[in-house]
Amino acid sequence: MSEILSNLAQDCHRILSETPGPDGREKIAELLQNLLSDPANVETLVPLTTGERDLLYQDAELGFCILAHNYDSPKTSPPHDHGPSWAIYAQARGETEMRDYDKIEDASAEKAGKVQVSRTYRLNPGVAHVYNEGDLHSPTREGPTSLVRIEGTDMSKVKRFRYELA
Ligand SMILES: [Fe+2]
């Protein structure tokens, strides 16, 4: 593990232990913004050899995960939340157009929920954004992009509901 990753993991662990709610996540987003504003750190944390979802670190005690993502072509996701978790998206290369949504109708295992767009904004390199539990969003990436994400728990093991535009 690189020193940068190991320091980031330790800092996240300390911040989330001291300040487990949304305020702690904002502190981590600030930390990521500072880190990723230095291209050397981008190279270390998200080298271009990174896959579409590489798990860099999972905290044994708190469960949060540090992930690196590298997309070499456009990549769009439908509206989604992060189930019982939160997530921080930190742009490292390229540009993401992010949409936030208001929920119009709840989702269930049988039926997609309904949403409407509340806000559209861009994540440029060095910008990090916190999505708390239940926040709905969708990223659109029209070219190659790289990002670092921190999730409250390993979302690859969580079943999520679908949402569609109302
Ligand atoms: Fe997301």
Query: Where exactly are the structural domains of the chain?
Result: 3-165
CATH code 3.40.50.10090 for 3-165: no
pLDDT reported for residue 20: 94
Q: How far is the CA of 27 from the centre of ligand 1 (A)?
A: 19
CA angle 36, 121, 53 (to 5 degrees): 50
Q: How far is the CA of 77 from the centre of ligand 1 (A)?
A: 8
Q: How far is the CA of 79 from the centre of ligand 1 (A)?
A: 8
Q: How far is the CA of 14 from the centre of ligand 1 (A)?
A: 24
pTM of the model: 0.95
| Residues counted in the chain | 166
Render each residue's pLDDT in the chain as its tens digit; 166 residues. Answer: 999 999 999 999 999 999 999 999 999 999 999 999 999 999 999 999 999 999 999 999 999 999 999 999 999 999 999 989 999 999 999 999 999 999 999 999 999 999 999 999 999 999 999 999 999 999 999 999 999 999 999 988 888 899 999 9
Q: How far is the CA of 49 from the centre of ligand 1 (A)?
A: 22
Q: How far is the CA of 86 from the centre of ligand 1 (A)?
A: 9
Max Cα–Cα distance, the chain, nearest Å: 46
Q: Which among 87, 88, 85, 91 has a CA at the least distance from the CA of 70?
A: 91
Q: How far is the CA of 94 from the centre of ligand 1 (A)?
A: 17
